[in-house]
């Protein structure tokens, strides 16, 4: 039984990872969810001493996927209400990633702030 299952799983594994769509793409991802906020605070990004768009820096060095964080309503975060990681901020990040030729992984946080394995607070709007 174990041997039969192992053969089936191995066959599925080989079939999945040898598929032409899988074989041609290796994703090198970066999380640039914070870039808009950092730039609004005055941060600049440099390459070889020259100011450059951070998305383009990442793309030029092989990144082809940008993780974008999206919170339910970041203004409802009591400790630090913010417009960052909101729908509009995520939309801007996605546009910038696409302009640099990268794909996007939209990471939905079902929370008004960070959602981590040990901290999963539901959005304030869902509490009632």
User: pLDDT tens digits for 57-115?
Assistant: 999 999 999 999 888 888 877 777 788 888 999 999 999 999 999 999 998 887 878 77
Domain annotation covers residue 19 = no
Top pLDDT among 110 and 19 is at 110
In the predicted model, what is the mean pLDDT of residues 40-63?
97
Domain annotation covers residue 36 = yes
Domain annotation covers residue 7 = no
Domain annotation covers residue 1 = no
pLDDT of residue 88: 93
Number of domains the chain contains: 1
pLDDT of residue 115: 76
Which residues contact residue 84 at a Cβ distance below 8 angstroms, ignoring those fewer than 6 apart? 33, 34, 36, 37, 74
Which residues contact residue 33 at a Cβ distance below 8 angstroms, ignoring those fewer than 6 apart? 67, 68, 69, 84, 85, 90, 93, 107
Domain annotation covers residue 100 = yes
Predicted TM-score (pTM) of this structure = 0.74
The residue range of the domain holding 77 is: 25-126
């Amino acid at each position: 039984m174990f041997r039969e299952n192992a053969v089936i799983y191995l066959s599925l594994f080989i079939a999945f990872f040898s598929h032409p769509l899988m074989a041609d793409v290796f994703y090198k991802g970066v999380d640039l969810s914070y870039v808009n906020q950092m730039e609004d605070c005055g941060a600049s990004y440099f390459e070889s001493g020259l100011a450059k768009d951070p998305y383009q820096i990442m793309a030029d060095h092989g990144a082809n996927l940008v993780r974008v964080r999206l919170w339910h309503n970041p203004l409802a975060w009591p400790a630090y209400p913010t417009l960052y990681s909101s729908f509009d901020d995520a939309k801007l990040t996605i546009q910038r990633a696409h302009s640099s030729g990268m794909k996007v992984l939209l990471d939905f946080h079902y929370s008004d702030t960070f959602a981590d394995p040990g901290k999963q607070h539901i959005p304030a709007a869902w509490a009632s």
